[in-house]
Structure 1
Amino acid sequence: MAGRQVRSGRSAPGPAADGSSHDVVVVGDGPVAEAVTAAWGPRARSLAEVPAQDPEGALTGASVVVLVAHPGRIDAVADHRGPQGHAAAVAHAQRTLSAARAVRAAHVVVVSSAVVHGAHPDRPTVHDDAALLAGRDAVRDGLVGHLLAVEAVVARHARRRAPLLTVLRPAAVAGGGVDSFVTRHFEAPRLLTVRGVERPWQLVHVEDVAAATVFVVEHGLTGPLTVGPPDVLTPAQVSAAAGLRTVDLPAATAFGAAERLHRVGVLPAPSVELSYVVYPWTVAADGLTAAGFVPERSSAQTLDALLEGVRGRLAVGGRRVGARDVAALGAAGAAVALLGTAAIWRQARRR
């Protein structure tokens, strides 16, 4: 990906040459794409996808194209495995970027996620120019694999001089109906933590991610940009706000359980996604902050929105918890926390 450039005083492009007021095309489906379309207002029109037949016609009149690669729905890509599983997404990204160039769009913005940088116990703060997962560390399944596959296409297009190209990589997105392995982490009766690891929590509201797509075009920012609020919550603050106790497991136990659940088909998402709810991956948002972008909502406020969204999703008080409940969660963190909680209950009964 090319380095970031800042063009001070640049304003968003005006109406298309044909007089259409819809000079912004938002490509994508799900809550993130819906928020982006709303942020652009009457200038924008939305497409679930750019069709294979006449893709240029679908983008005619667009001076700005926003490709929302982040679906914001856990079921959208959870069972996509390996290169073949992401082939359709790769072809669509290629088609969209080529069509945007053909219609001479001035700026293309791609909404990805900071998950492409990975999460691990000693993960430093993620800066805009941080390396992506690669080689043996690259994830091939689920959301992470999906976004890495799309970003590989974007990186090839970034070598060209036009159009301007920006990739937004937000921290954990919540609010506005976003349903992810992060949001579902809060649907278990206890929050999973890995023994010996302090996992800071940074959450960015989907509407702030959407606002960032407008900001980068208005300010002519290009290259990769991380997105997130400046405040970071401690596990104790998150637990207190959620009103949930934690279940603390050794890493081998937690990841082993997640892998077994995935192998037998209880969890559609790969066990590696557990990393993103137990290990750090906070972002610095260097370029956006330097240019003056400030998210309207803090991590604490976004956590409140997340908790409101999952309220009542799982009621386990007074009834047995079985495999069906685990499967309903769909996220490794919540499922492993559920199993860990069940183990604690069994130990308590024996005592």
Structure 2
Amino acid sequence: MSSPEPAVRAARNGPAAPLTVAVTGAASGVGALLTERLLAAEEVRRVLALDERIGDARGAEWHTLDIRDPAIAELLRTSGAARGSLRHDGARDRDRDRETTSGPVDVVVHLALDLDLESDPAARTAYNVRGAQTVLTAAAAAGVRRVILCTSAMVYGALPDNDVPLAEDAELRATADATCVGDLLEIERLARRAPRAHPGLSVTVLRPAVLVGGTDTALTRYFESPRLLVVAGSRPRWQFCHVEDLVSALEFAVLDKVEGELAVGCDGWLEQEEVEQLTGIRRMELPPSVALGAAARLHRLGLTPSPAGDLAYTMHPWVVSGSKLYEAGWRPGWSNEEVLAELLNEVAGRHTVAGRRLGRKDAATTLGAAGATVALVGTAALVRRARRSRRR
């Protein structure tokens, strides 16, 4: 296993002067949590919250816009009351505040991503890639010193020969076969090119493990199934990251305590057998050809949102070390066991088969006494029905 690079900023205690930080995607999810956290940080003077709607964070300066709009460069350069920013209550800032609140942004945290399983893939890619490209270009044009992006540890790829755990500088061997991974790989490429294209701009990328806490992904839906699908011959390992830990790691990056490419996750990992014991959900083991073939057909027919590539992340290890953050003094507040318990609470009452979430009526029919067997038969019936419809 290759040795991890040291955390370049680990020796610093924090920035010398209070920061002005802009957060995209600030109205919901991780962006909303980070905005609230930064507002409470002594090292942060101002927080610009950028989104298509105004969120709940009191004290932030809200700007509503499409993150793909190149006009964001001017906003980052001369942000503040002089541009008519809105406080949480929607009131215009008073003239007397202009001199103290206007000025350039020091750090941009880009969290405006569409990772919704139900989104149109082409539109989702256009939004994600164009948004990251616009933010990086605008930040450089505005003289912003640092941009922080968030992708996923999925970019390392899930492969049977992966080191356990993976070092941050491990090769990114993922392909675009899984949900949103193609978008994340392109964002990673943009992040690596940006400092070369724009000298003076520093780009930090955080890569969380399976993210839990108000999230809906193919990997969280795995735990909504009546049985945990296990592909015969595979040996998955599970590592989670609670959104609260991701937010605290993002704050570390904002405060310049660490930089570069950073993996974020709980200590260690759980074997599949441990997961089954902790969840109380029994496994359904299928041969690789059956599992992968069925997943591909269901997705091709539009019956499930998850492509067959998502299965790799339930088959092979992609555990990360997180050594850079550890060397900088960061520690996760959640264990894998605690995050898994939180996930089970969140998905209670939901029913998913092959990545397709079922309504209450469908669940009562599909997930009855016969459990996974009926689910598999029902899935085959859906395939046959779709084929007949296409022929007609």
* TM-score, structure 2 normalization: 0.73
Of the three residues 135, 157, 169, the one matched with 1:129 is: 169
In structure 2, what is the Cα distance between the partners aligned to 1:70 and 1:221?
Answer: 23
Say if 2:177 and 2:307, in contact at 8 Å, map to a contact too.
no
Question: Paired residue for 2:54?
Answer: none
How big is the shift at 1:70? 5.3
2:69 to 39, 52, 58: 52
Instruction: Out of 185-194 and 219-228, give the one that drifted further.
Output: 219-228
**Runs of at least 5 residues in structure 1 that lack an aligned partner in the other structure:** 17-22, 316-322, 331-336, 347-351
Corresponding residue number in structure 2 for 1:120:
159
The SS at the match of 2:321 is coil
- 1:8 counterpart (6, 11, 14): 11
**Alpha-carbon distance between aligned partners in 2 of 1:294 and 1:141, rounded to the nearest angstrom:** 29
Q: For 1:345 and 1:88, how far apart are their aligned partners in 2?
A: 35
For residues 7 and 189 of structure 1, the distance between their equivalents in structure 2, rounded to whole angstroms, comes to 45
User: Does structure 1 residue 239 correspond to structure 2 residue 276?
Assistant: yes
- Aligned partner (choices 121, 134, 140) of residue 80 of structure 1: 121
Show the counterpart of 1:168: 206
3-state SS of 1:122 partner: coil
How far 1:329 moved relative to its partner? 5.7
Which one scores higher on RCO, CA 8 angstroms, separation ≥ 6?
1
Equivalent-residue separation in structure 2 for 1:10 and 1:101 (angstroms): 26
Task: Give the equivalent residue in structure 2 for 1:105.
Answer: 144
Does the 8 Å CA contact 1:28/1:71 hold for their aligned counterparts?
Answer: no
| Cα distance in structure 2, aligned partners of 1:86 and 1:345 | 31
Instruction: Give the structure with higher Rg (CA).
Output: 2
Aligned CA distance change for structure 1 residues 99 and 114 (closer, same or farther; 3 Å): same
* 2:309 pairs with one of 272, 276, 284: 272
Q: Determine if contact 2:24/2:50 at 8 Å carries over to the other structure.
A: yes
Provide TM-score, normalisation by structure 1.
0.81
* Per-residue deviation, 1:148: 1.0
1:147 & 1:284 partners in 2: Cα distance?
A: 20
Tell whether 2:157 aligns with 1:157: no
> 1:69 touches 1:150 (CA, 8 Å); kept in 2?
no
**Residue aligning to 2:62:** none
Contact 1:70 1:113 in 2 (8 A): no
Change (3 A) 1:233 1:68: same
% identity of equivalent residues: 34
2:55 equivalent in structure 1: none
* Residues 54-69 of structure 1: pairs in structure 2 closer than 5 A: 54-59=71-76, 60=79, 61-68=104-111
Superposition deviation, residue 187 in structure 1? 0.5
Report the alpha carbon displacement of residue 10 of structure 1 after superposing the two structures with TM: 4.5
Given that 2:177 and 2:308 are in contact with CA atoms closer than 8 Å, whether structure 1 keeps it comes out as no
| Alpha-carbon distance change, 251 to 185 in structure 1, aligned in 2, over 3 angstroms | same
Match of residue 327, structure 1, among 350, 353, 356: 356
- Which residues in structure 2 correspond to 1:25-36 (within 5 Å)? 25-28=22-25, 30-36=28-34
Q: How many residues align?
A: 317
Distance 1:340 1:117 in 2: 34
Q: Distance in 2 between matches of 1:238 and 1:87?
A: 36
Whether 1:222 aligns to 2:255 is no
Aligned to 1:298: 335
Alpha-carbon shift at residue 85 of structure 1 (Å): 6.0
TM-aligned CA deviation for residue 196 of structure 1: 1.9
Paired residue for 1:146?
A: 183
Q: What is the deviation of 1:123?
A: 2.3
Following superposition, the deviation at residue 219 of structure 1 comes to: 4.1
